[in-house]
Amino acid sequence: MKTTSADVGRNFGRFADRALVEPVTITKHGRDHLVLLSAAEYERLKRRDRQVYRTHDLPDELIEAIRAAEPAAEALAFDAEYDPKASV
């Protein structure tokens, strides 16, 4: 759902209730400005944040996942661009 900031100011309760069902994009001067969403959706998105490790701190299961990873088939098209003899 999309609405203006002026409309949200006049009808906040209505849009707050709607944000429990779906994100509400709030526009300002005709451009997307903010998104109102439920606390549950916000928490879900926060859980998806990247985790960053130093290489010596990587958990064993992540090291194994990296070892087992295979490039996507479309990545093979770039093999021709790699020349190990080329100077860096």
Q: Where are the domains of the chain?
A: 2-38
Q: pLDDT digits over 34-47, tens only? A: 999 999 999 988 88
Q: pLDDT digits over 15-25, tens only? A: 999 999 999 99
| pLDDT per residue as tens, the chain (88 positions) | 999 999 999 999 999 999 999 999 999 999 999 999 999 999 988 887 777 889 889 999 999 999 999 988 888 888 888 877 776 5
Residue 32 CB partners (closer than 8 Å, separation 6+): 2, 25, 26
Assess contact for 23 and 6: CB atoms under 8 A: no
Q: Does the pTM exceed 0.75?
A: no
Retrieve residue 7's tokens. Answer: 């409309």
